[in-house]
Amino acid sequence: MGAMLILAATPMGDLGDASQRLRDALATADVVAAEDTRRTKQLASGLGVAITGKIVSFYDQVETSRLPGLVDAVRDGKSVLLVTDAGMPSVSDPGYRLVAACVDADLPVTCLPGPSAVTTALALSGLPVERFCFDGFPPRKQGGRRRFFETLAAESRACVFFEAPHRLSDCLADAVAVLGPDRRAAVCRELTKTYEEVKRGTLGELADWAADGVRGEITVVLAGAVAVASEPEDLIDDVEELVASGMRLKDACAQLAVDGVSKRDLYEAVLAARSSADDLLT
């Protein structure tokens, strides 16, 4: 495999999501750095793979102390495979410091793509997600959590974040208090697992649903804020921003149309603005 740091995505629940490249890497890497060595051994066993390299733990509390040894291993010509308990390393999991250290040392880094709770939840949400941001876990305490939602009050992109099941009810209640009950969202539970569930609706509806308690791994997708405007012209810049990001003009107009502004009126306003701009250039 050669000297290299290899980031590999692991299944979130269904072993069928493991790629052949992950299987090969587990079997051949000189060093396997695992967030939980027991879970990684169980994963390999479930995949019918024998890990032949050295297995070392690599979780938050030991990440800094393990860095020099793993960087030296790559420098010495070894392949180092980095895996976490589920999903992609360095995305709200240990990993980015090791990547940065290898990059700083001019050592090769590659990635074996695969399962991700972030993109899976976005795809299942049923919300406009052409543009999105990821925010990890919200603050645990109410004050910080409400400030977190205040930063999303005018955010036009969809936002994905994780939440612990025992905090979900309070989290959604704070979202309602700050953003109002009508903002749309989706709560994805136990993605790819036997009891996978996706609840879609308004924040108010979801807060009521979660009030009695929810179990499992949780990923939340919050719809982007919709600009409030009374005239189509007020939304032209926002439409053009979406178009510049790759969205079709008609789709951008459909996403940004608000009460009092129809998709057709907004579409025609954008075309008129473009025509006026062209006239000024001629």
What pLDDT was estimated at residue 119?
96
Task: Estimate the crossing angle of helix 236-244 against helix 249-256, to 10 degrees.
Answer: 130
pTM, full prediction: 0.78
How many CA atoms does the CB half-sphere of 10 hold within 13 Å?
A: 26
Cβ contact 228:183 at 8 Å:
no
How would you write the pLDDT of the chain (282 residues) with one tens digit per residue?
Answer: 789 999 999 999 999 999 999 999 999 999 999 999 999 999 999 999 999 999 999 999 999 999 999 999 999 999 999 999 999 998 878 899 999 999 999 999 999 999 999 999 999 999 999 899 999 999 999 999 999 999 999 899 999 999 999 999 999 999 999 999 999 999 999 999 999 999 999 999 999 999 999 999 999 999 999 766 568 888 899 899 999 999 999 998 988 876 668 889 999 999 999 988 776 665
What pLDDT was estimated at residue 196?
97
Comparing 4-115 with 118-222, is the CATH topology the same?
A: no
Question: What's domain 4-115's superfamily in CATH?
Answer: Tetrapyrrole methylase, N-terminal domain (3.40.1010.10)
Candidates 104, 83, 103, 1; CA nearest to 35 is 83
Q: What are phi and psi of 124, to 5 degrees?
A: -85, -15
Q: In angstroms, rounded to a whole number, what is the distance separating the alpha carbons of residues 169 and 275?
A: 50
Q: In angstroms, rounded to a whole number, what is the distance separating the alpha carbons of residues 227 and 222?
A: 15
CATH of domain 118-222: 3.30.950.10
Residue type, 127: L
Q: In angstroms, rounded to a whole number, what is the distance separating the alpha carbons of residues 12 and 84?
A: 10
What pLDDT was estimated at residue 140?
96
Q: 180: which strand partners?
A: none
Element (H, E) at 199: strand 197-202
Domain positions in the chain are 4-115, 118-222, 232-281
- To which residue do tokens 């969809």 refer? 158
